[in-house]
């Protein structure tokens, strides 16, 4: 792969192959970008009656690389005239041109096609080199690369063929961890854009806080609750039992403190952007939490969410009793709610995305079509489909193929503030 010539890569990475071995011309133009270059080149080619087989164009830091794969002109001797015409036009516009004769179209893509999203903060040349080497060693080929975002992280997407998706994911996941970048590997195809339900954990995912610890701070037992929470998130304690133990410490706390806790909740950076963009794309968005409806109901109203499930703190005589009511939302419960939400939304499970950070999210992450571990504990990162380890929730959009430019353009069109 020629890193200095990304637009031409897809056209000329390998000798062209064609079943009928018809001659083709690869016309390549590069130089300073400005309006009219594409129109000018094809205007010159049009005078020779050629047919367009493929086009690739990219602009990087104001420099354009434009490639056109065309048939040779039919008239005898016209190919030489075409070459002279293109080179003269390029010189007049202070561009460089190259015309390469060959046969056929692009070679057929290999079996096993995947989209690989790489997130770096920063994204180093060493990381790109290492990941590219692993692709090659696995027998894959990088067919195309383009940038999804330059902030708040650098995100690039690679289209790779020639190696099964699951095998590629295993190879790249290990290298990504070594290079300290995040990576997502998903099978190419229409299903990638068909994911129409996203279900998020709340504590330390949608929000930066652990809700029970906010309540505990008002009850004077924050340290005891935090210690039990940490053990549960690491998978060292049964969640249901740890929940009951922590809630018991809230017994006697005035339920009116709920309003204060709601005001203290801090959304994760990028949360509003993620939800706003997903809703524009037609997604339904749900939350499922081991926390409490006293807070999640407020989040539903505040963010315009479609579904929610959480535990409920029991209240009697205006005070918390130290118990929860109804079905406990634990590890298995989150997976059940994912399935229920999918049924209500009319979406098959393979078209869902789940996002979470703790061990009690694992069943949900594994049941979804795409499970994303967000700033997660090691046990979760190891078992999820992909992991994001930067503190910006809207980076999940890049895993779905949405670019930062598309997000900002939609915000500008709607008059919405950019970012959170």
Is 203 noted as a catalytic residue in this protein? yes
Q: Per the residue annotation, which of 33, 143, 203, 385 is the catalytic one?
A: 203
Residues written for the chain = 420
Question: Of these residues, 33, 143, 182, 201, which one is catalytic?
Answer: 201
**Angle (nearest 5°) at CA 86 between 83 and 91:** 120
Q: Is 201 a catalytic residue?
A: yes
Could you give the residue numbers annotated as active site?
201, 203
């Amino acid at each position: 792969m020629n890193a200095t010539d990304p637009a031409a890569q897809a056209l000329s990475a390998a000798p062209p192959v064609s079943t009928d071995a018809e001659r083709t011309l690869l016309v390549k133009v590069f130089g300073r970008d400005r309006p009219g270059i594409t129109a000018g080149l094809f205007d010159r080619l049009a005078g020779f009656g050629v047919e367009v087989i493929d086009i690739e164009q990219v602009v990087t830091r104001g420099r354009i690389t434009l490639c056109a794969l065309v048939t040779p002109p039919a008239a005898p001797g016209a190919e030489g005239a075409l070459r002279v015409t293109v080179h003269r036009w390029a010189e007049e516009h202070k561009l460089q041109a190259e015309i390469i004769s060959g046969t056929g179209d692009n070679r057929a893509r290999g079996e096993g096609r995947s989209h690989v999203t790489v997130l770096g903060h920063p994204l180093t040349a060493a990381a790109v080199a290492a990941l590219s080497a692993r692709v090659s060693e696995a027998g894959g080929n990088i067919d195309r690369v383009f940038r999804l975002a330059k902030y708040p992280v650098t995100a690039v997407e690679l289209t790779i063929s020639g190696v099964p998706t699951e095998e590629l994911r295993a190879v790249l996941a290990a290298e990504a961890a070594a290079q300290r970048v995040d990576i997502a590997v998903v099978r190419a195809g229409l299903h990638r854009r068909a994911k129409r339900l996203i279900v998020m954990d709340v504590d330390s995912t949608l929000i930066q806080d652990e809700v029970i610890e906010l309540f505990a701070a008002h009850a004077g037992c924050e340290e005891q609750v935090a210690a039990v929470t940490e053990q549960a998130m690491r998978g060292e304690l049964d969640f249901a039992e740890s929940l009951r133990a922590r809630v018991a410490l809230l017994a006697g706390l005035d339920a009116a403190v709920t309003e204060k806790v709601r005001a203290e909740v801090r959304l994760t950076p990028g949360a509003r952007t993620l939800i706003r963009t997903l809703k524009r794309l037609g997604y339904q968005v749900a939350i499922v939490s081991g926390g409490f409806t006293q807070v999640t109901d407020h989040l539903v109203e505040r963010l315009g969410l479609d579904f929610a499930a959480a535990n409920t703190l029991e209240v009697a005589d205006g005070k918390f009793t130290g118990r929860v009511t109804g079905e406990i939302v634990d590890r298995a419960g989150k997976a059940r709610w994912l399935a229920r939400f999918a049924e209500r939304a009319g979406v098959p499970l393979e078209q869902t995305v789940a996002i979470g950070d703790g061990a009690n999210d694992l069943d949900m992450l594994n049941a979804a079509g795409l499970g994303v571990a967000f700033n997660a504990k090691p046990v979760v990162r190891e078992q999820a489909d992909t992991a994001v380890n930067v503190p910006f929730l809207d980076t999940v959009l890049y895993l779905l193929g949405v670019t930062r430019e598309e997000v900002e353009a939609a915000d500008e069109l709607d008059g919405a503030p950019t970012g959170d």
